Amino acid sequence: MKFDRRNGVADGSPYQTYREMTREDFRRFCAYCFRHEGELGGPGHFDQDHFEPKSVNNGAKERVFLNLYWCCKDCNSRQNKGSTWPNAGELSRGECFCDPCHHDPDGTDYAREADLSLRAMTTSGGYTIRILRLNERTELRSLLSDRDRVRREYQQTLGLLRHLIQRAEQNGTIAAGSPIGSAIEAVRRVIPAYEQFVNADPFVLTSVPEPVDADSLVDLL
């Protein structure tokens, strides 16, 4: 995931004043683990992270807007990124944090394996995976697994709903006001929400549509 930052924001104000703009620029996603606010309980579970920490260069970038990244509290904790920053030796070896405002690290700096773990493709990818413990935090892999499962379930239901409509149309069983007709009209209304949900890129577990009892519709037809 890559994030595009707005231009023209004057630096120098207390960094807290930039909070909502930072949040909007990152589209409510964590800049490091790419979890969404809606999956973690809202903005109260997020902070503004100083990409270059305040402890570096005497806090030279403490009030620089483009140095502020939207970050979940887990990634911003001391055991993960926190105030960590590569030293001179690490930088000389290319060890640094992947910058999702520069490019999408997914597929560039690291790749997702079949077991949902990350495989480093660059030195910065390896550094980011190691410091953020992206392969060690079970909650991250669990969320990815849930995303895959829910998306498949809704894709299957969507396919069934389309099939049911096609079948009813072919059979000529859609009569206005009839139980079947009313059920089919209800299906027509929910299909756009299902399509928007399963086709979202990136796919996240937010605004999940109400489930449809497709089995009962099969029985009607």
Model confidence pLDDT, tens digit, residues 42-58 = 999 999 999 999 988 88
Confidence (pTM) = 0.85
> Rounded to an integer, what is the distance from CA 211 to the centroid of its chain?
22
Which has the closest alpha carbon to 187: 150, 205, 160? 160
Taking residue 157's Cβ as centre, other Cβ atoms within 10 Å add up to 18
Which has the closest alpha carbon to 125: 142, 143, 108, 101? 108
- Work out the pLDDT band at 25, boundaries 50, 70, 90: very high
d(CA 33, CA 46): 12
Q: Tell whether the model's pLDDT for residue 98 goes beyond 90.
A: yes
Q: Tell whether the model's pLDDT for residue 220 goes beyond 80.
A: no
d(CA 104, CA 30): 13
The answer to whether 116 and 129 have CB atoms below 8 angstroms apart is no
How large is the average pLDDT for residues 120-133? 96
pLDDT tens per residue across span 158-186? 888 888 777 777 766 555 556 667 777 77
Q: Tell whether the model's pLDDT for residue 203 goes beyond 60.
A: yes
- Work out the pLDDT band at 216, boundaries 50, 70, 90: low
Residues 6+ apart with CB under 8 A from 193: 209
What are the backbone angles phi and psi of residue 145, rounded to the nearest 5°?
-65, -40
| Confidence at residue 83, expressed as pLDDT on a 0 to 100 scale | 85
Taking residue 215's Cβ as centre, other Cβ atoms within 10 Å add up to 8
d(CA 143, CA 113): 15
How large is the average pLDDT for residues 89-96? 95
d(CA 122, CA 93): 11
